[in-house]
Chain A
Amino acid sequence: MRQSIKVLVFLGLIASCQQQYPQGERIYRAYCANCHMEDGTGLVWLIPPLADADYLKKNRADVACIIRNGAPGGLVVNGTTYREPMPSFKNLNEVELSNLINYINNAWGNDHPETSPEKVLADLEQCDEK
């Protein structure tokens, strides 16, 4: 009995150490890391950072829209205006977007509230009106 508790605790520890959003991380590496870099630092004044970015805190509902539809440039992040346009990723569905946003929201010291596929769908409906 004691042995199995130990095994469970051990497995629990391993699980807690692992990345919470493995699909989000995979998608990030495939579509985002080339520009925003694997450590989320972006590229000087060309590509905005995602790590410790005030934009992600202030505009949570816009993030899904920006990834799905792209951005024309002119976003202000941490006081800097980034003029490069961002391409759209229309191939990502709401589950993938949700996993990706949750990965970004919890990587590199970021600590933003969790989103869900339902929330992403609601956000996407709103961005069409803007």
Chain B
Amino acid sequence: MRNPINLAIICLVTLCWSCKNNTEFKPSLPILGNFEVVNGDTIRHRIPDFSFMNQDSVIITNETFAGKLYVTDFFFTSCPSICPKVKKEMLRMYEKYKNEERIRFISHSIDTKRDSIPRLKEYASNLDVSAEFWHFVTGDKSKLFKIANDYFVSALEDPGAPGGFDHSGRLILVDKNRHVRAFCNGTVPEEVDAFMEQIDQLLETEY
């Protein structure tokens, strides 16, 4: 008789322990980038004001993403190197989150000469994605290159690079307070998997 009771106690303790572990609070993601201390307040790195135009000729600003988190990257439609791979990975994310109101995507084209609004429109429709969820934007060239720096992405014109531009395939996660919270190499599926886990974590803890 004693043994079954002992067994039951052990089972109960194990169950409680596993429940406790499941509900364990996940720490929030760090805010990335440099910070400065002004009058005792810590000022964190934030994405500055921006204004670009998407594939439907709609002006896209920081306000477009108010209260949401967004994933962003830099690309160009005729890019023969890493862009299609990154887009394939972003499509995987799109499929997962397309019904999620708290997330949006924005892809910045760095080829302002060739990637006109109609070109971006065609590109987006060939990817079969909704303009409401995923913005493909263009705008002032210097502003696009400048904001790439704010997202910690390298993007520069280089006649020697495939397609004329050198840029990284990084995906960046920005929260509702314009802070960069995570990034990954968009050409590596395993990194994108981990990135999506970070998105889920942020949604769970801060939205």
The residue among B80, B84, B125 with the most chain A CB atoms within 10 A of its own CB is: B84
Q: What is the interface residue range for chain B against chain A?
A: 10 to 19
Is A43 touching B82 in the complex (CB atoms < 8 A)? no
By a CB distance below 8 angstroms, the chain B residues around A44 are 91, 126-128
- CB of A46 within 8 Å of the partner chain: yes
- CB of A87 within 8 Å of the partner chain: yes
- CB of A53 within 8 Å of the partner chain: no
Indicate which residue in B84, B91, B122, B126 contacts A34 across the interface (CB closer than 8 Å): B84
Is A46 touching B84 in the complex (CB atoms < 8 A)? yes
A19-37 near B? 1/0 per residue, CB < 8 Å = 0000000000000001101
By a CB distance below 8 angstroms, the chain B residues around A37 are 84-85, 88
The tally of residues in A whose CB lies under 8 Å from a CB in B reads: 11
User: In the complex, what's the smallest C-beta–C-beta distance from A78 to chain B, in angstroms?
Assistant: 15
User: In the complex, what's the smallest C-beta–C-beta distance from B49 to chain A, in angstroms?
Assistant: 32
- CB of B98 within 8 Å of the partner chain: no
By a CB distance below 8 angstroms, the chain A residues around B126 are 44-46, 83-84
- CB of A47 within 8 Å of the partner chain: yes
Is A45 touching B127 in the complex (CB atoms < 8 A)? yes
Interchain CA distance A78-B85 in the complex, whole Å: 22
By a CB distance below 8 angstroms, the chain A residues around B87 are 43, 46
Name which residue of chain B comes closest to A47, CB basis. Answer: B84
Interchain CA distance A44-B94 in the complex, whole Å: 13
Q: Which of B79-132 contact A (CB under 8 A)?
A: 80-82, 84-85, 87-88, 91, 122-123, 125-128
B56-95 near A? 1/0 per residue, CB < 8 Å = 0000000000000000000000001110110110010000
Interchain CA distance A87-B162 in the complex, whole Å: 11
By a CB distance below 8 angstroms, the chain B residues around A46 are 84, 87, 123, 126-127
Given contacts A34-B81, A44-B128, 14 further A-B contacts (CB under 8 A): A34-B80, A34-B82, A37-B85, A37-B88, A43-B84, A44-B126, A45-B125, A45-B127, A45-B128, A46-B84, A46-B87, A83-B126, A84-B126, A87-B80
Name B residues whose Cβ lies closer than 8 Å to a Cβ of A: 80-82, 84-85, 87-88, 91, 122-123, 125-128
A-B contact pairs, 28 of them (CB 8 A): A34-B80, A34-B81, A34-B82, A34-B84, A34-B85, A37-B84, A37-B85, A37-B88, A43-B84, A43-B87, A43-B88, A43-B91, A43-B127, A44-B91, A44-B126, A44-B127, A44-B128, A45-B125, A45-B126, A45-B127, A45-B128, A46-B84, A46-B87, A46-B126, A83-B122, A83-B126, A84-B126, A87-B80
